[in-house]
């Protein structure tokens, strides 16, 4: 069995903070970036300093915050070149309408705009402004220009604004910006592909308040949805009931029963290039669902079950089947059962894990089984496992 190792990155982020009320969220963003293992260098514009103190950002990033282009303490006066060369990526969050205008036109009249112009690394922008400023033709023209220049826009969101108005221009939350930024570092192995993923448990009702379900949390399926989007795919997630937030930029179709999951998958499978069945689908459903809550009786009731459709097997048997990958959560004889499942469902890839170690956990230990044999992944966070699964699928396509 081959063993696939996890990649390690040293990742340095230059966080540019411009003048807008959303600058207060930059503190939380720095904290999350540092926690995620990034080295963070903050650079503020003059206007940003009216919204948040440099001491806060310095304490959280562990680095002095830089603000001046004309800094006498900087020996050669080349901070803008040094900073842009040291960064693996630049994120401007919040990016004001004024700063976006400067980026669109190549203006360089302060440290942050100058180092952006001097940069050679990826640059991304998280706009934040009042909805009228967002809607102005000048702003829209500038946004179009920076998009054409290859600068990704993270957000903004539609919603409540600091000024009390409602509309486009709210900066994405720091958690979402972190997810967007992480994606910049992932290779676009599935660019242009349509991916569909089933996730979570299903719930098969017995009566209006009771049902049959299982311990699947949905974490592995949601991690795969995020990893597939990071790899450049358009992702649809068909999910049973979970407590998880849908990853950003992933289209979510919520379902409850196996039959609903089956129907949602079949409606769209023709457009799908890659189908990954992660859901813990109930094999059986209750044959006659009681319309009213069942009453306790003297003798124990008997539930008659009938089989649910096997979604993965049905998709794999389609005349123009997408590339199919399935999961096998087993409590014993892991490889043996997984191999048998791969053959039974006629799929190119099955991913095996121990049910006791995987269900509901944040980490997983996966074994990828394909026609070339078994490939073991180390025990690691489900997102890291998911990225390796996506890489493996890309290599098999
Ligand atoms: O339940 P089983 O062990 O056969 O599940 C193996 C794989 O098949 C999983 O990927 C699961 O998502 C998928 N499956 C399915 N429809 C079912 C049962 C399982 O798509 N009814």
Domain boundaries, the chain: 2-184, 194-289+301-396
Give me the active site residues, please.
Answer: 163
326 CA: nearest ligand 1 atom: 10
Residue recorded with tokens 């969050």? 93
**Is the Cβ atom of 281 under 6 angstroms away from ligand 1?**
yes
Token pair for 79: 């901070």
Parallel/antiparallel/unpaired status of strands 274-277 and 194-199? parallel
Index of the ligand 1 atom closest to the CA of residue 309: 21
Pocket lining: 224 vs ligand 1, CB cutoff 6 Å: no
- Answer yes or no: are the C-beta atoms of 363 and 380 closer than 8 Å: yes
Looking at residue 10, its pLDDT comes to: 60
Instruction: State the pLDDT at residue 6.
Output: 46
pLDDT at 5: 45
Of all protein residues, the one whose alpha carbon is nearest to atom 5 of ligand 1 is 328
pLDDT at 8: 44
**Count of H-run helices and E-run strands, the chain:** 14, 21
Residue pair 207/293 in contact by the 8 Å Cβ criterion: yes
Pocket flag, ligand 1, residue 184 (CB < 6 Å): no
Of 212, 311, 312, the residue with max ligand 1 atoms within 8 A of its CB, to mutate for a pocket test, comes to 312
pTM for this predicted structure: 0.90
Q: Which residue has the tokens 């689908």?
A: 281
Q: Do domains 2-184 and 194-289+301-396 have the same CATH topology?
A: yes
Where helices occur in 106-254 by DSSP H, the ranges are: 111-118, 131-135, 137-148, 174-184, 219-230
Pocket perturbation via mutation, ligand 1, pick of 259, 280, 281 by most ligand atoms within 8 A of CB: 281
Q: Both tokens of residue 334?
A: 């892991």
Overall CATH class of domain 2-184: alpha beta
Strands 157-160 and 234-239, sheet pairing:
unpaired
- Is 308's C-beta closer than 6 angstroms to any atom of ligand 1? yes
Q: How far is the CA of 4 from the centre of ligand 1 (A)?
A: 25
Residue 39, pLDDT score: 96
pLDDT value at position 151? 96
- How far does CA 101 lie from the centroid of its chain? 29
Cα dihedral sign for 218, 219, 224, 229?
positive
> What is the C-alpha to C-alpha distance for residues 300 and 284, in angstroms, rounded to an integer?
20
Give, in order, the Cα–Cα distances in Å from 287 to each of 221, 264, 308: 28, 21, 10
The b/e string for 325-336 (b: 16+ C-beta within 10 A; e otherwise) is: bbbbbbeeebbe
- Per-residue pLDDT tens listing for the chain (397 residues): 555 544 445 689 999 999 999 999 999 999 999 999 999 999 999 999 999 999 999 999 999 999 887 666 665 666 777 777 789 999 999 999 999 999 999 999 999 999 999 999 999 999 999 999 999 999 999 999 999 999 999 999 998 888 888 889 999 999 999 999 999 999 999 999 999 999 999 999 999 999 999 999 999 999 999 999 999 999 999 999 999 999 999 999 999 999 999 999 999 999 999 999 999 999 999 999 999 999 988 888 899 999 999 999 999 999 999 999 999 988 888 888 888 889 898 999 999 988 777 777 889 999 999 999 899 999 999 999 999 999 999 999 9
User: Are 99 and 18 within 8 A, CB to CB?
Assistant: yes
Match domain 194-289+301-396 to its CATH number in 3.90.226.10, 2.40.50.100, 3.50.50.60, 3.40.50.10300: 3.40.50.10300
Maximum Cα–Cα distance for the chain, whole Å? Answer: 89
> How many angstroms is it from 209 CA to the middle of ligand 1?
26
Residue 275 CA to ligand 1 centre (angstroms): 12
Residues 6+ apart with CB under 8 A from 211: 203, 204, 205
Q: Are 235 and 278 in contact (CB under 8 A)?
A: no
Is the CB–ligand 1 distance for residue 394 below 6 Å?
no
397 token code pair: 């396509």
* 324 C-beta closer than 6 A to ligand 1: no
CA distances from 11 to 8, 24, 41 (A): 9, 24, 11
């Amino acid at each position: 069995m081959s063993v696939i190792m996890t990649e390690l990155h040293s990742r340095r982020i230059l966080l540019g903070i411009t003048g807008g009320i959303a600058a207060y969220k930059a503190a939380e963003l720095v904290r999350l970036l540092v926690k995620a293992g990034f080295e963070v260098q903050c650079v503020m514009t003059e206007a940003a300093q009216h919204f948040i103190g440099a001491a806060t950002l310095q304490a959280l990033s562990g680095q002095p915050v830089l603000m001046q282009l004309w800094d006498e303490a900087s020996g050669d006066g080349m901070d803008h070149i040094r900073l842009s060369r040291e960064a693996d990526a630049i994120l401007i969050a919040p990016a004001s309408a004024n700063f976006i205008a400067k980026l669109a036109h190549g203006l360089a009249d302060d440290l942050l705009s100058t180092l952006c112009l001097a940069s050679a690394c990826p640059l991304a922008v998280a706009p934040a402004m009042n909805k009228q400023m967002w809607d102005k033709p000048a702003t829209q023209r500038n946004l179009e220009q920076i998009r054409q220049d290859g600068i990704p826009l993270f957000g903004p969101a539609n919603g409540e604004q600091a000024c009390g108005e409602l509309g486009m221009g709210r900066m994405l939350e720091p958690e979402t910006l972190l997810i967007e930024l992480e994606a910049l570092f992932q290779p676009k192995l599935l660019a242009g592909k349509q991916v569909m993923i089933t996730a979570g448990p299903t719930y098969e009702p017995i009566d209006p308040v009771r049902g049959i379900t299982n311990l699947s949390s949905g974490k592995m399926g949601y991690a795969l949805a995020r990893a597939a989007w990071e790899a450049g795919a358009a992702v649809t997630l068909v999910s049973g009931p979970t407590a998880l937030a849908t990853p950003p930029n992933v289209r979510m179709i919520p379902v409850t029963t196996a039959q609903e999951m089956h129907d949602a998958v079949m409606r769209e499978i023709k457009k799908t290039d890659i189908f990954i069945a992660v859901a813990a689908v109930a094999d059986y459903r209750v044959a006659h669902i009681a319309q009213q809550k069942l009453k306790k009786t003297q003798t124990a009731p008997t539930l008659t079950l009938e089989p649910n459709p096997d979604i993965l097997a049905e998709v794999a048997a389609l005349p123009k089947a997408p590339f199919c990958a399935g999961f096998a959560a087993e409590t014993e004889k892991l490889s043996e059962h997984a191999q048998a499942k791969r053959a039974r469902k006629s799929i190119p890839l099955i991913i095996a894990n121990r049910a006791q170690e995987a269900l509901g956990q944040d980490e997983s230990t996966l074994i990828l089984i394909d026609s070339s044999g078994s490939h073991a992944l180390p025990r690691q966070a489900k997102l890291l496992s998911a990225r390796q699964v996506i890489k493996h699928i890309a290599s098999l396509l």
